[in-house]
Structure 1
Amino acid sequence: MLMALQLDVLEGNVLEVLRLLRSTRNALAPISRIPPEVLAHIPDFWDHHGQDVITLTHVCQAWRDIFTSRSSLWIDFDCNNPHKTRVYLERSKSFPIRVVLLESEIGDLPLDDSALEIVSGAIGRLGSLAIDVAPEKFQDITNRLFRSAPLLESLDILMHPPSGANPNLVLPPLLFDGDLSSLRNLHLQGICTELPWRNMVNLISFQLGAPSSGEISLTHLLDFLEGAPRLLKVEIYLITLAEDAQRGRMVSLPRLKSISVRWLRSPSALLYHLVMPAGVKVAFELFHVEDFPPETPESLRSLSDFKEIRIKFSEYYEPSIRFTGSNGKANFKLYAPQAEAAWHTALELLGLLDVSKTEHLELICSGPISGDVLYAGLLRMTNLHTLTISQCHNLSSLVCVLDPDRDPSNVLVCPKLEKLILYIGTEREFDTLRMTNMAAARASRGSVLKFVRITSRVELAQVVLGLREQVLHLECESTVDDEDVSDEEDPDEVPCW
């Protein structure tokens, strides 16, 4: 090396000398000691989309050679620039590519027709495709997607028509030559489709919602689900179903883990035709209880060994009912203008399901709960072990319900109740004697309250004195802090008992 430098100096080739010195210095740098096969994996540890990948290739010639030969770094396409699209296609070689076609009014670069044409010629390499564009651009894009895509695993089409517009966007029946058997994830929103694809053997996640116009045929939807036996997750929302399915037709989803039906008129029209395994999580969001049928579908009846129930009506949250148990989970969200009406709605839903095996019940309500409503709800819970009532504004009504003497027939409500947890509001008129008598009457019938916890914003001295003799373990706390009210819990989390 030294002899070569001396010859170059003698020949006056100063630029070549500088180049050799720079390459020698680079070769001795610590980062140059990292093996190329290790260096090539460094971009896996950060978001290497867009300009970041290109910047890597401008550090030095060695880095350029390493990163341009790493095909998996060049698989993300946005179709904003035809030159960039060609370079990415060349460098990604045979890897499946990910294409995101996004065009909105918030500063996104416009889609380039030349770039779209280049990508449409490589449909056979599509691994995932996401489309979120204006309605006028949608038809132009889908017209290019007519060839088969055997590597496509994820398809997201999210349309957001302008307010007041009704473009009646329709998904072409021959999209990808009508064959989407390679799909694992499918999400369709804001477009019409009759779901013609039947061979969906690899599909594990399916979302369908808010078609731009018209109804979705229940028969076509069942055909689709029947062709997707490996489904793990189904979400359907804001859809009008045409109830044209043959009576008695049943479609089995043996691997299903969760199904969510939101804002769908008469969701049972779909559930009546589904056979779901034990352990599936079922979620509903209903505008009216009338949207639920008077008879429970067999698919839900098989899930009705619920061990825990949580009913929530608060001014801070939408009304909801959550069931959890060994055979499954169900979560109902209701929309009722008043708390009292919401309680009656909740009881109607509870009446559709078997709650005799329920062991834990939590009630959250910012308004008063009438004794008759509580009595009707608790009477069938013969195995209830724990009762939690948050934001209780009418303690006397609750005590009356649990007291065997409140009913001429002397029926014992919740005979196995052993644990009572109360979060009391600002009610000042405690009927201490009634509460003490209730505990004593239950004990005389063989139903001993072994644990009682009362958290209140008022003085509890009289309650403590009255119950100390009747309860095996009593905890009382007076507080003015909102943090003790359990209504601040995450509404999507099932409480721990």
Structure 2
Amino acid sequence: MADSSCGPRPLPPDDLALLSGLQPHDVRKVAESKIQAYRAMIEDINGYIIQLSTIQNTTVPLHASLPPEILMHVFRHILPTGPSDLRLTHVCKLWRDLIFRTPEFWVDMLAISAVTAHLDHNTDSPLSFPSFVVRSSPLPFELDLHRGALDFLRTIPSHVSRIHSLSLHLPLGSDYAAYLTALFNLDMPLLETMRCSTYATAWPIGLTDSTTHRVPDGQKFPRLRKLAFCGPGLPTRAFAFPSLRELKFDDGMFSEPLGPLMDFLESCAQLEVLEMNIQSPARQFRTERDAVSLPHLKIFSLLLDAPEGLWAYDFLEQVIVPATAQMNITWLAGSDHPLRYLIPTSPLSLSVEAIQVIHTLTIRFNYDRTVRDDSKWILSVNGFVPSHSQPYLKLTIHCPCWTLEEDVRPSDALSDLSGLFTCAPSLQKVKLRLDHGITVTPDHWFVILNSFPSLSSLTVRIGSCRSLLTVLRRNPTRWPALRRLSISCRNGSGVHECLLSAIERRAREGSRLEYIAFSGSPRRRLSEHRMRRLEGLVDEVTTVNEVEFCGMH
């Protein structure tokens, strides 16, 4: 046998004989004929090799002991995470054939934007976008499309009906209305979630005119429940499907009127979740309209990125959020208006209904100690109703001490904030937790306590409680419903007599407490004499450490 390392084997003698004695042009013809014959033989041999490899693979112990149905079941439970998982189709022909026949694998692949973003939309290759869609049949699948979404959907007409989640980019231009018309003429009976993104540097004139958009009948999208917008594209009435239950809206950086959003909400009375990220509070509402009612709303979340305090106030004066809805509002850059105007609470206007039902209020004033200025101060408010562990009202104000004119003290911010709850008839329990270094003046304590006329239980954690005890001592007949008082302060050893004086004066005036818990300096506890005096004035007296106090309800 010749050594193949020494070079290619020589031509067979029969081939050389065919070329012997021929003219150059005849040599070319004969050589070309033999080349084609050998190429055909190579193709046949490669085919034999593939077939033999397949037979060989089927004799691998794994394949021989497991029927193809079992392997397909295994492939159904593979959760791909990226393009590299396509290498499973390169293991062997059997695996490739079985994975190609496993729609669950391709449904999961279509859900990975890192995969679909780089697929070719216009070829029939085994790794093209359309081929992925075809292999996912007959299961429902998710699509994340970038530009040209509508054109691609038109290339897979027989598969559009299987889409259950669709992400696409909307063109903001003169053909916007025509684009929406064509999109909503597609039949998507399984579609449950739609995410729309828009990118633009200028807003097309007339795009927000609600008269150019009609409310869809919903027959082609009967199951659409969730709709999300990102960018300047407003959720106009063209998207107001009657089946919608959830709307998430990120309004981009534009300042056009939000009339189309109000038209949308008016047409979607079945909404249960409304989440909005307002990056440009300069948007204005139309005022010449009745308030929009959302009676089925369960969750309302609003995030304001700019210091425009009245935006939430104006919105909630025109959108009726039921008392049963969980309301969560965050001001990331503070408010340029007094905190008492964060939300409407006056009975003379359309107030937030949650104010009428909350029973317990927790207020937390803290800051990031790694930052030396007030920019990291956070004021958090949670309002609870009986028998519910989650707050129905949640307000978070970053930079609460900042105003347009000047910075205010935390004491001012707290007294101002308490004005939100002067018309809360069911509010009986208040808990305040103020970080070390935050003090409250007596005048502000008076304002704060006066904001809760039905107050029956007060829990306070503060560095110094002297000002609070001073107010309670000077006003023994105020807040007559107050029966439970819990105080934790770091300078507790210096306020023991102040505490006793305030409790004694209330008892003499007929405003006797039923319960008091006190946590002060661990070095100096209440003396036995003072404890006996307290126990003679209050039915239940408890002294606890700070850790126990933090866990008290």
What TM-score, normalized by structure 2, do the two folds share?
0.67
Query: Alpha-carbon deviations, 1:142-189, whole Å to 9, x = none?
Result: 79773334324323234577xxxx443797999999859433222223
Match of 1:336 in 2: 401
Distance 1:72 1:443, change over 3 A: same
Q: SS in structure 2 opposite 1:381?
A: coil
Distance 1:241 1:140, change over 3 A: closer
Q: Which structure 2 residues correspond to residues 282-431 of structure 1 after superposition, within 5 A?
A: 282-286=327-331, 287=335, 288=337, 289=339, 290=341, 292-293=343-344, 295-296=346-347, 297-298=349-350, 300-301=352-353, 303-316=355-368, 317-326=377-386, 329-334=392-397, 335-337=400-402, 338-351=409-422, 353-366=423-436, 367-379=438-450, 381=452, 383-390=454-461, 392-403=462-473, 406-407=474-475, 410-413=476-479, 415-422=481-488, 424-425=489-490, 427=491, 430-431=494-495
Q: Which amino acid aligns with 2:382?
A: R
Q: Does 1:280 align with 2:318?
A: no
Q: Which amino acid aligns with 1:312?
A: R
Q: Is the 8 A contact 2:54 2:94 kept in 1?
A: no
Deviation for aligned residue 1:199 = 4.1
Q: Is the 8 A contact 1:129 1:154 kept in 2?
A: yes
Q: Is the 8 A contact 1:156 1:186 kept in 2?
A: yes
Q: Which amino acid aligns with 2:194?
A: L
Query: Alpha-carbon deviations, 1:226-253, whole Å to 9, x = none?
Result: 2223211112232444332434x24332
Q: Does 1:56 align with 2:98?
A: no
Structure 1, unpaired ranges of 5+: 1-12, 103-110, 487-494
Match of 2:132 in 1: 88
Q: Which amino acid aligns with 1:437?
A: S
Q: Does 1:242 align with 2:315?
A: no
Match of 2:543 in 1: 475
Query: Alpha-carbon deviations, 1:366-418, whole Å to 9, x = none?
Result: 4111122222222353554432222x133211112233xx13xx414353322
- Residues of 1 paired with 2:323 and 2:451: CA distance? 23
Distance 1:206 1:241, change over 3 A: same
Q: Does 1:438 align with 2:493?
A: no
- Residues of 2 paired with 1:280 and 1:15: CA distance? 64
- Residues of 2 paired with 1:468 and 1:100: CA distance? 72
Q: Is the 8 A contact 2:236 2:261 kept in 1?
A: yes
- Residues of 2 paired with 1:177 and 1:370: CA distance? 57
- Residues of 2 paired with 1:442 and 1:23: CA distance? 91
Q: Is the 8 A contact 2:215 2:240 kept in 1?
A: no
- Residues of 2 paired with 1:120 and 1:18: CA distance? 40
Query: Alpha-carbon deviations, 1:43-85, whole Å to 9, x = none?
Result: 2xx3455442x23333444433433223243241624221421
Q: Does 1:193 align with 2:246?
A: no
Q: Is the 8 A contact 2:297 2:322 kept in 1?
A: yes
- Residues of 2 paired with 1:463 and 1:180: CA distance? 76
Match of 1:271 in 2: 316
- Residues of 2 paired with 1:19 and 1:158: CA distance? 47
User: 1:121 is matched with which residue: 155, 174, 181?
Assistant: 155
- Residues of 1 paired with 2:208 and 2:61: CA distance? 56
Q: SS in structure 2 opposite 1:206?
A: strand
Query: Alpha-carbon deviations, 1:420-441, whole Å to 9, x = none?
Result: 141x23x477132221222333
User: 1:225 is matched with which residue: 258, 265, 269?
Assistant: 265
Q: Does 1:466 align with 2:530?
A: yes
Match of 1:154 in 2: 193
Match of 2:301 in 1: 260
Q: SS in structure 2 opposite 1:271?
A: helix
- Residues of 1 paired with 2:384 and 2:416: CA distance? 19
Q: Which structure 2 residues correspond to residues 100-139 of structure 1 after superposition, within 5 A?
A: 100-101=144-145, 117-122=151-156, 124-125=160-161, 126-131=163-168
Q: Give me the identity figure in percent.
A: 16
Q: Which structure 2 residues correspond to residues 36-47 of structure 1 after superposition, within 5 A?
A: 38-43=73-78, 46-47=79-80
User: 1:454 is matched with which residue: 507, 519, 526?
Assistant: 519
- Residues of 1 paired with 2:217 and 2:478: CA distance? 59
Deviation for aligned residue 1:257 = 0.7
Q: Which amino acid aligns with 1:130?
A: S
Deviation for aligned residue 1:198 = 6.0
Q: SS in structure 1 opposite 2:270?
A: coil
Q: SS in structure 1 opposite 2:311?
A: coil
What TM-score, normalized by structure 1, do the two folds share?
0.74
Distance 1:31 1:278, change over 3 A: farther
Q: Is the 8 A contact 2:419 2:451 kept in 1?
A: no
Q: Which amino acid aligns with 1:388?
A: T
Match of 2:13 in 1: none
Task: Name the one with the larger strand percent.
Answer: 1
- Residues of 2 paired with 1:463 and 1:132: CA distance? 71
Query: Alpha-carbon deviations, 1:288-346, whole Å to 9, x = none?
Result: 33454573554524651211111222223411222121498222233323312211321
Task: Name the one with the larger helix percent.
Answer: 2
Q: SS in structure 1 opposite 2:498?
A: helix
Distance 1:86 1:355, change over 3 A: same
- Residues of 2 paired with 1:69 and 1:15: CA distance? 20
Aligned residues: 442
Structure 2, unpaired ranges of 5+: 1-47, 369-376, 403-408
Q: SS in structure 2 opposite 1:191?
A: coil
